[in-house]
Amino acid sequence: MKHVNCLNDFTVDELKGILLLSKRIKADRNAYKHILDDKKLYMIFEKTSNRTYLSFMIGMEELGGKAYNQKWADSNFTIGDLMSEVKYVCRNVDCIMGRFKKAETTEGFMKYATVPVINGCDNTFHPSRPWPIC
C-alpha cells in the first residue's frame, strides 16, 4: 500500500509509468471503464475545491468505481478520535482522498489508514494538481 502525499514520494520511473497509463486511458477510455469496478473512494473536504471534487468524482465514475463525498464539518472528525474515525472509514472503502487545512491532518490519516490515502491538498503539498493538465 502506498500513500500519495507529495510527488517526491515517487521515483522518476513511477511517475513516467503513471503518465503512460493515463495516456493509454485517455486514448481508449472503454478499455478501462471497469478497472475500478466495486472500488470505493471516500473524499473528505476540510477545505473546498470544485476541481478536486469533480476530478476525483468523475474519474472514479468513468473507471467504474464509486466516490463518496463528505464535508469536514458534517463528519465525526470534528468531535471524535482521529485514529478511530480513520480506521472505521477504512473498513468501508478502498481509498481515501482528503483535502485538509493542515499537513498534520494529512499525516494523521496516513498514519492510521489501512487503505491508501491521497493528499488532495493541504498547507504543504498539492500532489493531485499537476495531473489533470497532463
* pLDDT at 26 > cutoff 80: yes
* pLDDT at 5 > cutoff 80: yes
pLDDT digit string (tens) for 116-131? 999 999 999 888 765 5
CA gap 5, 100 in Å, rounded: 12
Report yes or no: 12 and 66 within 8 Å, Cβ to Cβ.
Answer: no
Q: Binning pLDDT at 50, 70 and 90, where does residue 133 land?
A: very low
What is this structure's pTM? 0.92
CA gap 8, 115 in Å, rounded: 20
Mean pLDDT over each residue of the chain, to the nearest integer:
93
33-119 homologous superfamily: Aspartate/ornithine carbamoyltransferase (3.40.50.1370)
pLDDT digit string (tens) for 61-112? 999 999 999 999 999 999 999 999 999 999 999 999 999 999 999 999 999 9
Residues 6+ apart with CB under 8 A from 56: 41, 43, 67, 97, 120, 128
Long-range contacts of 77-82 (CB under 8 A, 24+ apart): 77/44, 82/108, 82/109, 82/112
Q: Among positive and negative, which fits the CA dihedral 24, 25, 28, 34?
A: positive
Angular region, 109: left φ>0, alpha ψ -120 to 50, beta rest: alpha
Q: Where are the domains of the chain?
A: 33-119
